[in-house]
Amino acid sequence: MLKFLKLVMLISVFALSACSSITDLKDDLSERMFGRESTETPSDLNVIKTTANVKMLWSKHLGDNFDFDLTAVTDNGFVYAASANGELVKLNVNDGKQAWRINTGEPISGGVGFGGNLLLLGTSKGYVLAYDLSGKLLWKSKVSSQILSAPKADFGVVVVRCVDSRIFGLNVADGSRKWVYERATPALSLRSSAGVALDGGAAYAGFAGGKLIALRVEDGKVIWEVSVAQPKGTTEIERIADITSLPVVDGSLVYAVAYQGKVAAIDRASGRVAWARDIPSYTGLDAEDAKVYVSHSSSAIYALDYSTGKTFWRQGDLKERRITAPLPMGSLIAVGDVEGYIHFLSREDGNFSARIQTEKSAIMPQMLAVGSRTLIAQTRKGGIYAISIK
């Protein structure tokens, strides 16, 4: 990755003139660093000793999602998923049987989100779409720009983040605007699908420059702002320290990690940094049962102590495989990779326990756990896969 960053820095001046706008340059840099155009060769997979039983429960296919990081949600035994071409589908989590499938008529770039018994989608044209659980459109609301993450709802407010870094609070009943938060961002930052995490009436969001904020969901007022990472280096690209993944709330702490920066634990009440480690990430982290799991930018996986940041173990055998955020699954940790594999690691020591391939297409950055025995993964080619763990 460092070798490639040096190359990008050498060509950045030429890229500025070749791209039609600074937005095009951001998109190009993000794709070349982390996406399908990366020049870094994924490491070969070593033979592992299988100690866990994983199998494919079912698979379905929607339209391709090459440009966007879409996520699935689950509720009451069903999975809801979307595709970039506008399809929204409801599937039985046990057997994949389709309850309904609709075409929204809109290009979907952010979703699926859930809250207040609403299915929430964001579009490339800057609309928020709200559906009920039967697939009926309830309302459609315009915000400022393209939406790259799933809108979410809590306390009667739909919270949605736009690509221009504005965050909107919309009335859950009709989509009318309640508030908007906006801030200045650096000229050069990474395009990402980092959205907002909602918990206890607060919305947590990371920004370019390594900033993490907490907002009140009811009115959008800032509760606190903290620096997770400080930009370093002499060039604009070297100084990129954006938070490009979703913050994770666990108990009294919220965790966030920045690319070319740090992972940090922040006290939710005060905004004080409890601890920080020099572990950068693009796709993110998760936390459960007193441990924090981080996917390093180089595709190593770390297990850290939740209260001190101390390393319990590190698994480095997936180098440059552009892994997803880690997903705790009972006694295992799951990560997907660029070639469609899902790897299962022991929660205790990080050793590989099992591996399964979906299709030869990258797994979306955020997978979904349904309980501790079923995993839902989406691929860039539009596949939806349910994996059983025994």
pLDDT one-digit tens code per residue, 183-202:
877 666 677 788 999 999 99
* Residue 18: per-residue pLDDT: 40
pLDDT value of position 11: 37
Which stretches in the chain have pLDDT values below 70? 1-39, 186-189, 233-236, 238-239
pLDDT of residue 188: 64
Reduced 3-state DSSP string for the chain:
CHHHHHHHHHHHHHHHHHCCCHHHHHHHHHHHHHCCCCCCCCCCCCCCCCCCCEEEEEEEECCCCCCCCCCCEEECCEEEEECCCCEEEEEECCCCCEEEEEECCCCEEEEEEEECCEEEEEECCCEEEEECCCCCEEEEEECCCCCCCCCEEECCEEEEECCCCCEEEEECCCCCEEEEECCCCCCCCCCCCCCCEEECCEEEEECHHHEEEEEECCCCCEEEEEECCCCCCCCCCCCCCCCCCCCEEECCEEEEECCCCCEEEEECCCCCEEEEECCCCCCEEEEECCEEEEECCCCCEEEEECCCCCEEEEECCCCCCCCCCCEEECCEEEEECCCCEEEEEECCCCCEEEEEECCCCCECCCCEEECCCEEEEEECCCEEEEEEEC
**Domains of the chain, earliest start first:** 1-40 (no CATH), 47-69+281-390 (2.130.10.10)
Report the pLDDT value the prediction gives residue 363, as an integer from 0 to 100. 97
pTM: 0.89
pLDDT in tens, 320-378: 999 999 999 999 999 999 999 999 999 999 999 999 999 999 999 999 999 999 999 99
